[in-house]
Amino acid sequence: MRYNSRGRLSKPPHRVPILSPSLLYSKRVSVDSWTERLRLAALASLAHELRTPIQVLLGYLDTLKDQLPSTLPARSRKMLERMNANACELARIVENIMDFALDDAHPGPNRDSQVPTLHLLDEVLPLIESICHEKGLNLEFELDDAPVVIYARHRQLRLVLANLAVNAVRFTAVGGVKISIRRAGTPDHPEVVFEVSDTGPGFGPELREELFEPFARLSSSNSCRYRGLGLGLTVVKRSVAALNGNLEVHSTVGEGSRFVVTFPVHPHEARSEVRKRN
């Protein structure tokens, strides 16, 4: 056996179970490459196990909503909406954990999926609609120049838009959130732009890079009010890279924030749009 300078084993013990809590939380284990790989593998396995029951729960909730009578009291309907929103939020958190742990979002051609834009918004809306209503926020969509279908990776599109939208709503107390999807680029090199802006507290340039670090939180006296693991923007950054895209951040303290994601799409999209116009 080989030992490191601290007298600990430099290779993983054979009998350590992959889901051992010590691999995730112990501060006594030296942080080297094999330990980190095991921790991430345990995290990914845990997220994978959580994903299935959450998806089953969402399916039952959808079925229940479809079968409810129109005479259902408003209070009961609101409770059901709250349950659905929390289940959707759990699904988003689990997906973020899996993306962070597996880190399999490598750059590649953006032709894996044909994602209807309205379908993408339908996936994001349950995460933010009820929260906006409770806070009294104005939720605005700008889709006048949006493509009907986005030819790019569905999973990465969902991760980018969902996490940006949830962050915007979470940190906005007064005012509103605006989500814009539009075409950009040229017919030979088409692009799509996602833009999410809010009227939240904003942040200074000193926090701009820190925001994308795993488990980062705003250095604010109000930060304790905000839930979340701090993985959302880390996942956004990775997903944008996987889309071969570019991420811009614009924010001013006291004036809100604006996140702009631009990424290339398959040229078939531009040709399809031209045929529809003609």
For the chain, domain boundaries? 21-101, 114-277
Give the pTM. 0.69
Between CA 85 and CA 107 the distance in angstroms is 31
Residue 12: the pLDDT is 46
Q: Is 159 exposed, middle or buried (0-12, 13-18, 19+ CB in 10 A)?
A: buried
User: What is the dotted CATH code of the domain comprising 114-277?
Assistant: 3.30.565.10
pLDDT of 252 over the 80 cut: yes
pLDDT band at 251 (very low <50, low <70, confident <90, very high): very high
Of residues 117 and 63, more confidence is placed in 117
Of the given ranges (56-60, 136-140, 203-207), which has the lowest mean pLDDT?
Answer: 56-60
More confident site: 254 or 83: 254
pLDDT number for residue 105: 52
Q: What is the mean pLDDT of residues 177-183?
A: 97
Averaged over 9-25, what is the pLDDT?
Answer: 43
Determine how β-strand 190-198 pairs with β-strand 176-185: antiparallel
